[in-house]
Amino acid sequence: MKVAFQGERGAYSEEAIVQFFGSEVETVPCQRFEEIFAAVESGEATYGALPVENSTAGSINQAYDLLLDHDLRVWGEIILRVRHTLLAPPGSTLDDVEQVRSHPQALAQCERYISNHGWTAEASYDTAGSARELAANPIPGVAVIASRLAGQLHNLEELDYGIEDAFHNYTRFFVLSHQDPPRAQRNKTSLVFGSRHQPGALYECLGEFARRNINLTKLESRPRLNRPWRYTFFLDFEGHCQDPVCEAALMGLLRQSSFVKLLGSYPAATTPPPEHGFEVQEERS
């Protein structure tokens, strides 16, 4: 089994794959999101791990546009708690650090931690890439922020772990496949639909779920690339598309909308706990 992801070895996407499939999984790094879809469609990879939203930064629009353009199914869901790790060349200590390198987003998420230590921050193109470069060219006084997996892959010293300022930082991934997964005890369904251009159209579409007491967990609009000032809606709800009440809601949505594309019904993931994040945050502030 091979799983495709976007990024370098040690990226948080690869960490999510290991969390979901186990440490023995074989991964296929890709440069762009489009290559994840291509790898699964061609058979180079069995599955693809696509990040779709972050709890602090919001949805990844390119990912949702690609889901609309391709016919792969959402086979599973991963929720990864993003834990940033401070890494340095072997033998380094915290007292040696003067400068920290990483992707701008990772630096921003650890801004208070870096400031409290009086270090300077330097932006790099990638978290895992910064770890690989430091391992290849160790520089005294320089550390990087990346995943714990990146440190293990590149034999870097782990100086600190869980250094992020916000302890409720999660990234949600879709696991993509050609197939539908077996039904689970807790399921979630994702779809995209378009509403008619008339008063009350969206209200009537959403009413199909409200009248049947189906809980919506996500609703977001995206511009339709081929129709200016028209929008598509990405929607997640609790339940499986083959549950009788959900099936009835989907049939009603088909009648009310201009189009519906079912992305998949899959086992719902559980959000990992913050692991005493508030206590650690108070201690470091």
Domains of the chain, by residue range, sit at: 2-82+169-177, 85-163, 187-267
What residue has token string 């690609």?
66
Determine the pLDDT at residue 279.
35
With cut-offs at 50, 70 and 90, classify the pLDDT of residue 226.
confident
| Cα 285 from Cα 282, distance rounded (Å) | 5
DSSP-assigned states of every residue in 111-140:
HHHHHHHT-EEEE-S-HHHHHHHHHHS--T
Q: Which of 56, 163, 55, 193 is nearest to 102 (CA)?
A: 163
What are φ and ψ of residue 215, in 5° steps? -85, 125
Instruction: Work out whether the CA dihedral 52, 53, 59, 62 comes out positive or negative.
Output: negative
| Residue in the block written with tokens 């801004």 | 111
Same fold across 85-163 and 187-267: no
- In Å, what is the CA distance from 223 to each residue of 28, 62, 74, 97, 111? 31, 12, 22, 46, 33
Residue 277's CB is within 10 A of a number of other CB atoms, namely 17
Higher pLDDT, 128 or 284: 128
Report the share of the chain in percent with pLDDT over 70: 96
Catalytic residues: 171, 173
Q: Mind listing the pLDDT tens digit for each residue in 48-97?
A: 999 999 988 889 999 999 999 999 999 999 999 999 999 999 999 999 99
Six token digits for residue 125: 């193109």
Q: What is the mean pLDDT of residues 167-191?
A: 95
For residue 278, pLDDT beyond 80: no
CATH class of the domain whose range is 2-82+169-177 = alpha beta
- Separation CA 2–CA 121 (nearest Å): 36
CATH 3.30.70.260 for the 187-267 domain, yes or no: yes
Q: What pLDDT is attached to residue 277? A: 42
3 state SS of 109: helix
Task: Decide which of 3.40.190.10, 1.10.10.10, 1.25.40.80, 2.40.50.140 is the CATH code for 85-163.
Answer: 3.40.190.10
Arithmetic mean of pLDDT, 191-216: 96
Tell me, what's the pLDDT at 275? 62
The stretch 24-36 carries a mean pLDDT of 97
Cα 194 to Cα 254: distance, rounded to the nearest angstrom? 10
SS3 278: helix
Q: Taking a C-beta distance cutoff of 8 angstroms, is the pair 68, 261 a contact? A: yes
DSSP three-state, residue 215: coil
The first and second tokens of residue 188, run together, are: 């979630």
36 CB-side CA count, 13 A: 29
Identity of the amino acid at 80: L
